Structures are given as structure tokens and as C-alpha cells.
Amino acid sequence: MSIGAFLRRAAFALGYSLTFAAVSGFLLLRFGPYPDLRRAAAESILTSMHRGYAGLLVSADELARLRSSLYPVLGIHATAPAMFARGADHRVQLFTVRSSRYRGYVLLVHDPRSVAVGYSQRLPRAGETTSSIARRLGAVAAINAGGFGDNAGAGTGGSPQGVIVHGGRFVFSELNARHRKIPIVGFNRDGALVVGEMTRADIMKLGIREAISFGPPLVVNGKPVITQGDGGWGIAPRTAIGQRRDGTVILLVVDGRQVDSIGATLRDVQEILLSYGAYVAANLDGGSSTTMYYHGRVINHPCDPMGERMVPTVFFVRGDTGWQ
């Protein structure tokens, strides 16, 4: 047998084995006696770009119930600027978080007014990678931020969802109806983190200067939002943002879908944020989008096979801050 024929047979055998394993695994998950695992998998798919496939794992009724639990309506909540520390503190500190299931990174940004929303220059055609936006803006640090639509599965990041507010101006908005509310994560003119369901009028009235759309809130008034279960979003890479009562902003990413870091539940993320003193906090877009840029490079390990995913928006730290 020639080397070429041997390689062809080996490739066929490998492809057959992988296909058989994938199909068998799906059938076992879908029809086997594993309701909790099946529900967790469906929750993870629902919060990814491929949410249309979640119906392959659970019934229509269960799918509707899962969807209705993704974004709890909790009103509008913000950190009180009166509690902010006085005086200039431009430090940005990096910490590593670990558990038996995940590895993550936390940045503490002591000047909340240094945090802003950056966005792709290529919208609506395409997004940019988090590091590309950060470098273009001369940022000290950045994390991916808002969600985006990607029905074709191409991952271009060019279709932001909800709103993008920068410098107090609507860069993008789906809030056409006067009373329509969408989940907002942003900062007001005082540098206070504001989270919750808002109308366009709410955003303007509250003086929101930087914002994107995502959620759900995880910490409100220093208390955990998730008190039962794991938050209903499965296990995946995560990105989140929070703020202490003194104004310090907490940027968090958790790697996932990797051998040494499977990922985190929303409750895991909530507990990390609380451990770093969060008074208000919210979940941001995760999955393959999860990226943290710091000191000129991406410091986490994005799980997309192609590397960094293109995204529409980031939260970034302006480059005139200090380093630590």
C-alpha cells in the first residue's frame, strides 16, 4: 500500500470515528437519562451565537421557559457617586482567579471615569477584535462588551444589538419605540455603573455617557441577584463588569471550553465579583467573544478556533491612566 493510500484510509477512519462519536454523543444527551446535563447544554447554546440549535435538545415548552428566564426584569440600579473615593487614583491592577473548573482574570480600575465604550469602525459591515479596538484607541486595557446578531454563523460582529452610547451620544440604537425597554450596562456622567432595563428616555434622563446592551444584572446594592440555582445560562466562557462602592471598576473574564478551563456559570461569576467587592455588576457577552486586553496584549485564552472573535463593542480603559 502506498503512503498516499494509507493516509487517505487513515483520514477516512478518523473522520468516521469523530462523526460517530459526535452523533452518538448528541443522541445520548438528547434521549438519555440526563435532564440536568441536557438543560445546561441548552442554556449554554441559548446564550451563544447558535441559539437556534437549543431546540434540538429540549422540548418547545422547556425552551420557552428557559428563554423567559434569561433576562430577569429588575428595574434600574446604580452605584452612588457620593460614595466614590476622593482624589486621583489612576491605578489598574491585574489579578488571576482560579477554581477546579476555570481560570480567569480580574482588572481593578480605580478611576471609573477612565472607562468608556469603544466600537468597531467597520460597523455595520463587520466588527473588530477587542485588541484591535484597544490598540486603535490607545487603551490601557479592554474587555469585549455588548452582544451582536449573527444569524449566518459567520462571526463578523457587525450587527450590534440594543444600543451603543459613547460620549453621551447614541452611536447605534434599536430603541425606536418610545416605551420599549432593553437591558443596559453603562456609566453615567459621574462614572457610576448603571444596569437594568431602560427606555431611550431613561438613558437620556439618567445622563448615561457610555453604554451597551447586555445582561443580566448579577449584583444589586451589594447583594447577589442569583440566590437559587446556577443562573440558568450553563457553563461557558464569561465576561462581566462591576463596580465597588468607592467607584473602582471590576473587569472580569473567565476562560472556557478548554481542557484546563471548562468555564463558569453566572453564579460563579457573581461570586467572583462579590469577592472583589462589587456593589453593582452585570454579565456581558461571553462565549467565544470573551477577551481581555492588557498591557499591549490579550492575556486570556479566547476559545474560538480562529483566535479572537470580531465584536462590535468593548469597554476600555483610557490610556492616560497608571499601571500596576
Q: What are phi and psi of 12, to 5 degrees?
A: -65, -45
Residue found under cell 447583594: 223
Return all residues near 322 (Cβ < 8 A) that are at least 6 apart. Answer: 90, 91, 92
Range 55-66 burial, b when 16+ CB lie within 10 A, else e? eebbeeebbeeb
Strand partners, 258: 261
CB 154 within 8 A of CB 250: no
- Environment class of residue 169 by beta-carbon count within 10 Å: exposed (0-12), middle (13-18) or buried (19+)? exposed
CB 137 within 8 A of CB 129: no
Ordered DSSP codes for 244-279: -TTS-EEEEEE--SBTTB--B-HHHHHHHHHHTT-S
- pLDDT by residue for the chain (324 residues), tens only, comes to 567 666 667 666 666 666 766 666 556 656 666 676 676 677 666 655 555 566 676 777 776 666 556 555 457 888 888 778 776 788 999 999 999 999 999 999 999 999 999 999 999 889 999 999 999 999 999 999 999 987 555 668 889 999 999 999 999 999 876 678 889 999 999 999 999 999 999 999 999 999 999 999 999 999 999 988 888 888 999 999 999 999 999 999 999 999 999 999 999 999 999 999 999 999 999 999 999 999 999 999 999 888 899 999 999 999 865 443
How is residue 54 annotated by DSSP? G
First to last CA, the chain: 62
**pLDDT at residue 322, as a whole number:** 43
159-163 contacts at long range (C-beta below 8 A, 24 or more positions apart)? 159/124, 159/312, 160/119, 160/123, 160/124, 160/212, 160/213, 160/312, 160/313, 161/213, 162/212, 162/213, 162/214, 163/200, 163/203, 163/211, 163/212, 163/213
**pLDDT at residue 221, as a whole number:** 93
**pLDDT at residue 1, as a whole number:** 59
**pLDDT at residue 6, as a whole number:** 62
**pLDDT at residue 205, as a whole number:** 93
**pLDDT at residue 72, as a whole number:** 55
Residue 163, helix vs strand vs coil: strand
Cα separation of 133 and 309, whole Å? Answer: 12
How is residue 203 annotated by DSSP? H
**pLDDT at residue 195, as a whole number:** 95
